[in-house]
């Protein structure tokens, strides 16, 4: 009888060991078997969604056979309290183990938005609203109250204060956080440019340097001309000459206006650099890093004028006479009658 009892006990122990081994193997197999996917998918982990709900969703999708497997593994690995909400890429070959660790690391899908150099803050706000993966900003937020919304009470106007760049973010990100990052980046690069400025620079503050950089940004997109355009404006400021730059007037026109009338050139207002000496009251665009650097360290020339050649490049001149000849050549097709010069 005793031998029978020992035999039964031994059988039970062996059976338990076999069952434990089977469960262990099944546990590992469910965690390490690649997900059955024909193409990549997206998994949205909602804020507040816990490990149990995630494990159940894995089972419902057929990624694992038993929800408890993912839940037990997640708790043993300390993943449960580290799950981060967001959108995750689920690709063929990925295992449930891989996906759980990706969620713990916060490896969310990164979306992007680019603010090009020379955009205005109005264009940036419109792009933020149109991006399908961003939340907001609300329609109530505009140029008039953006600084208040962002808590930037030390500034008077939002134009120019956001660095053009490509920004990455997860799905559902608040659009205002992208602007906050762009503002911090602009502060950093503006401070660097200000510290690196030439001696006897005619601007008196980092803000004035930002305004100058925005004008340079709007005047040329050519990297090989940017510092020379900056040199013209710096030379004019040093001599007390009017800047006479069209982009400052265009800034206050209706969107889409590309050409200025004579009446507009003559109408006096703070942004009319044909009627007023010095810089306009605010930036006129979002200047990039290169424009900031050019504003701080312009080319050392005697140039006082430049005119477009019509191919994206400019002709630079030291004297008005040379500039006038360049205008006749490149802008007027050789017709000098505007200046009282007979055509030859």
Q: Which residue has the higher pLDDT, 342 or 74?
A: 74
Confidence of residue 213 (pLDDT cuts 50, 70, 90): very high
Q: Which among 313, 320, 298 is positioned nearest to 231, based on CA atoms?
A: 298
How deeply is 254 buried, as exposed, middle or buried, from its count of CB atoms within 10 A (0-12, 13-18, 19+)?
Answer: exposed
Confidence of residue 344 (pLDDT cuts 50, 70, 90): low
The structure tokens listed for 32 are 């390490």
Instruction: Give the pLDDT of residue 48.
Output: 86
**Rounded to whole angstroms, how far apart are CA atoms 151 and 143?**
14
Write the CA distances from 249 to 72, 139, 218, 259, 298, integer angstroms: 66, 27, 11, 10, 23
Q: Taking the domains of the chain in order of start, what are their residue ranges?
A: 32-109, 110-303
The structure tokens listed for 295 are 């504003």
The structure tokens listed for 287 are 């200047």
The mean pLDDT value for 179-202 works out to 97
The CATH number of 32-109 is which of 3.30.1490.480, 3.30.1300.10, 3.40.50.1370, 3.40.920.10?
A: 3.30.1490.480
The mean pLDDT value for 264-289 works out to 96
């Amino acid at each position: 009888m005793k031998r029978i009892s020992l035999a039964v006990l031994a059988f039970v122990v062996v059976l338990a060991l076999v069952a434990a081994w089977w469960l262990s193997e099944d546990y590992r197999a469910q965690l390490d078997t690649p997900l059955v996917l024909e193409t990549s998918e997206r998994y949205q982990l909602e804020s507040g969604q816990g490990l149990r709900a995630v494990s159940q969703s894995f089972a419902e999708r057929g990624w694992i056979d038993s929800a408890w497997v993912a839940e037990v593994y997640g708790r043993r690995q300390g993943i449960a309290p580290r799950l981060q909400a967001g959108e995750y890429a689920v690709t063929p070959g990925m295992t449930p183990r891989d996906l759980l660790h990706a969620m713990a690391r916060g490896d969310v899908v990164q979306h992007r938005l680019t603010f090009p150099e020379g955009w205005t803050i109005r264009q940036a706000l419109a792009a933020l609203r149109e991006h399908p993966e961003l939340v907001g900003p609300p329609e109530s937020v505009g140029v008039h109250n953006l600084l208040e919304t962002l808590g930037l009470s030390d500034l008077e106007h939002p134009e120019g204060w956001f660095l053009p760049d490509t920004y990455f973010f997860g799905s559902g990100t608040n659009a205002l956080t992208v602007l906050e990052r762009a503002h911090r980046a602009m502060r950093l690069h503006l401070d660097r440019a200000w510290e690196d400025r030439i001696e006897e620079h005619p601007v008196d503050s980092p803000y004035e340097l930002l305004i100058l950089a925005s004008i340079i940004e709007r005047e040329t997109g050519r990297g090989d001309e940017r510092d020379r355009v900056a040199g013209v404006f710096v030379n004019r400021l040093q001599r007390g000459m009017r800047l006479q730059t069209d982009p400052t007037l265009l800034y206050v026109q209706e969107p889409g206006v590309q050409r200025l009338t004579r009446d507009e050139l003559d109408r006096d207002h703070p942004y009319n650099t044909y009627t007023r000496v010095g810089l306009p009251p605010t930036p006129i665009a979002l200047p990039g890093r290169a424009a900031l650097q050019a504003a701080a360290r312009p080319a050392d020339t005697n140039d006082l004028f430049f005119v477009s050649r019509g191919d994206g490049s400019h002709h630079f001149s030291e004297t008005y006479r040379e500039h006038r000849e360049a205008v006749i050549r490149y802008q007027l097709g050789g017709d000098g009658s505007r200046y009282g010069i007979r055509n030859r």
